[in-house]
Structure 1
Amino acid sequence: HIYNYHCKTSSYKYVCVSCRDSCQRGWRLLYILTAFHRCSDVMKPFLLRFLQDACDSPGMPYQGIAKACQENLKRTFQYGGRIQYPNSMEIKAILAGRSSKRQLFLLPGGIERHLKIKTCSVALDAIEELCSEMGLQRLEALDEYAVFLVTHRGKSDIHKIKIHALHYKIG
């Protein structure tokens, strides 16, 4: 466990200091890292300051991705970071500068709805967005809804798995 802690901290240090040959690649690696791993408590204030400075610098070419890294890190500390590593398609998309995808949600009555899912989206985000679109603003209403993963969409043998509201993998 202590090895993982030092490995994650070293990864943050490496990305922040050593990716000088390509700033864009360094920022994209930091984007992936902030979605999966917390930094150490010692490093956290320095990393947050680094990201805040990048966000606040007028004319900074990487303000957008710095803000996305900041949001990823916040959500990683809030929800614990993604457990499932990105597949090759997601890595290619991130390295190409795309950090979200349109995910199909099937609603009762055969209604199909596409939502924008980001790297650090959790099921609760989808539930909140759908409830908002339906005009449900009370927090209690959110508890009445759930997200299920449909693994086969045929006429028979549909398998559904309920996804916990704080789980990342919804798409």
Structure 2
Amino acid sequence: MTDVKVECVRGNIASQPDVDAVVNAANASLLPGSGVAGAIHDAAGPGLAEECRSLAPIHPGQAVISSGHSLPNDHVIHCLGPVYGVDEPSEELLADCYRNALLLADRKGLASVAFPAISTGVFGYPIAEAARVAVRSVINVRPTLTSVRLVRFVLFSEQDLSEFRDAIEAYG
């Protein structure tokens, strides 16, 4: 189906109460960290780290799902994005994050998913390139989705939001 809405907003990934799952730009051990992982773990509470112990480690491009704990979302989907210039092929691994997260959400019957800009923080992926990879990945998997009806990109800065808007305009 192609009636899946793709949108982008500026905001906090840990404050998206109207979606079924938020995506964590996780580290391999799925433990609290900085950036997105820190914000999600802080908002979810210590139960998230406890649940994640049995799900780790994960590899670049992989997605796993947990409950949302104290978040307003039922689920957190954890993805390990590639470290830019280290994990290769970085474009394919980044695309795998978005594709695998959406396919996992769809298998679980979820209707909505919110993504951060995976790998663009401490992992160093250039935002313009990351936006193009993310949007293309979502657009490519969209026709196969049966339950997911909303994909939201939640961006931290005005520049990130602009890059994702440009990518949606180009590919969406």
Superposition TM-score tier, normalisation by shorter sequence: under 0.3
Q: Which has the larger radius of gyration?
A: 1
Greater RCO, 1 or 2 (C-alpha within 8 Å, sep 6+): 2
